[in-house]
Chain A
Amino acid sequence: MTKKEIEERLYQEMHQNIPDKEALWQKIEQNLPEQTVSQPVRNRIHMSAGKGFLTIAACLLLTITGMQYLKTNKSENMLSESSAAPAAEIAEEANNDQAAISEEAGGTVSSPEILNYQDLNIIHNQTIASQVNLSRLGTHGEYFSEDEILQDTRFFIDVKILSGYQDTESGNMHYTLQILDVYGGDLNLSEITLETSSAYILEQNHEYVLPVTADLNLAYECAPQIEKTQDENLIIPNGWYTLMQSNAIPVLYTSYGKDDYFYDRMYLTKNLNLDLLIQKWQKL
């Protein structure tokens, strides 16, 4: 059984046993004691002047960043209820990430600036995403591990997405890719098609660097892929630690599905080539 089949089996088993809801409600209702009207608990806040100032500053940052985010996020309707992480939290996580990177690189921690994906130098379209039934795409329980992905990778391909559609039967996405460059061997192909259940949409006319297996499937489906901006920067999930730099900038990425937990784990790395990653991969 595959991991996906295990998940599906568990889901079926856990969801097949549904009680008689009406009977259960009657039982609950009969036992309800008379409600004494109560007031909501209000936390008493004791804080120093310093803490108060910091809190106000954090609220302002949250409000401003949140407004920018809402203003620029054109796919708001796709955002799940659970995915609206506060900017302060993202900034904190960005700080932690950058501290770790900086420690490894021996650099200094820069203050976390946050960029919106929609503000980056890419073509802003949702040609494919707007036609997709996201709920039919795969689950995303796999944790990102650079080493494991590299083990599964046969080629890195630099591609431009020509088109994409969702199979009405399987729910999977089918993409036609124009191959711009290949790392790790010769493919002698100018175009390939790719089928994936990944909920992270590859958008038309966007350029990506995809790690793929020998049979040209995505080596990892459970995260956004490495995307190139038009000014030759890379947008990467923070799991690609070999590509992360101490000056990497957090990017608020568009969230699609309810289990999309990379929307606040994307980074822009400037003036970077893939050499370090390719070298590491070739040594494996």
Chain B
Amino acid sequence: MTDSQFDAAVEKIRNGDKTGLKLIYDAYGDRIYRLFLSRTHNHQDAEDLTSDFFLKLWECAGSYQAGSGHKCWMSAIVRNMAVDHFRKSDRELPAEDVEMLNPSAFTEHTTAEDTTIHHMHMTHMLSFLSEEEQEIVQMHIAAELTFREIAVILKRPLGTVAWKYRNAIGKLQKLAREGELV
């Protein structure tokens, strides 16, 4: 969706026309959901947050400034909502997630099937990364934002974002390699 298409959709929302929100939902619903899922690791939470996101979008469309970069604006909302979600729930990770996050878990699985299971949950390995690295990887892969867009959202230099992304993938590679060597 281009900025001008987004602007037109927001204009519809301002006029109470639901088709404006539907257009944005069709274009970005999956990405928003994936972004929340990658942060919460919980389908229900991700769905609820996605739903809340679009309700919020409906309500605060008036605050959007046309031409200001809609992806960055939406990503900032997602970011704030995710932070609020964790603050409110102050939740601990489910037991199965904790096991996946335990490095020793990699050393306890030796069958090809188990190795495959670990690979299937590589997103859990993101928890080994710093908060910022996780966020950059999620934004780049789950939300398909460019490094330039991420740099704007995080207010970090472009080179720093690309550098941190590369380091993050390197760390994941190392973790995966350690798991496979067993």
Contact = CB atoms under 8 A, between A and B. Distances in A.
Given A14-B37, A38-B62, A142-B166, A80 B146 contact: yes
B166 A143 contact: yes
Interface string A10-48: 110111011101001101110111110111111100000
Nearest to B126: A10
Interface string A42-59: 110000000000000000
A149 to B, nearest CB: 13
Contact of B146 (A10, A18, A83): A83
Contacts of B159: 143
A14 B142 contact: yes
A141 interface: yes
Interface centre among B63, B66, B126, B147 (most CB of A within 10 A): B147
Given A7-B141, A24-B51, A34 B33 contact: no
A40 B14 CA distance: 8
Given A3-B170, A14-B123, A259-B146, A40 B62 contact: yes
Given A11-B141, A25-B25, A37-B16, A3 B169 contact: yes
B166 A10 contact: no
Contacts of B141: 7, 10-11, 14
A45 to B, nearest CB: 13
Interface string B170-182: 1011001100100
Interface residues of B, number: 60
Given A141-B169, A143-B163, A85 B37 contact: no
B16 A81 contact: no
B43 to A, nearest CB: 7
Interface of B is mostly: helix
B107 interface: no
Nearest to A258: B146
A9 interface: yes
A281 interface: no
A6 B173 contact: yes
A2 interface: yes
Contacts of B63: 40-41
B108 to A, nearest CB: 20
The 3 nearest A-B residue pairs measured at CB = A38-B62, A35-B16, A143-B163
Interface of B: 2-3, 13-16, 18, 21-22, 25, 29-30, 33-34, 37-38, 43, 46-47, 50-51, 54-55, 58-59, 61-66, 71, 119-123, 126, 137-138, 140-142, 146-149, 158-159, 162-163, 165-166, 169-170, 172-173, 176-177, 180
Interface of A: 1-3, 6-7, 9-11, 13-15, 17-19, 21, 24-25, 27-29, 31-35, 37-43, 80-83, 85, 141-143, 258-259, 261
19 contacts: A1-B173, A6-B122, A10-B123, A10-B141, A14-B37, A17-B33, A17-B34, A19-B33, A19-B47, A21-B29, A27-B51, A33-B58, A37-B16, A39-B14, A39-B62, A82-B146, A141-B140, A143-B162, A261-B147
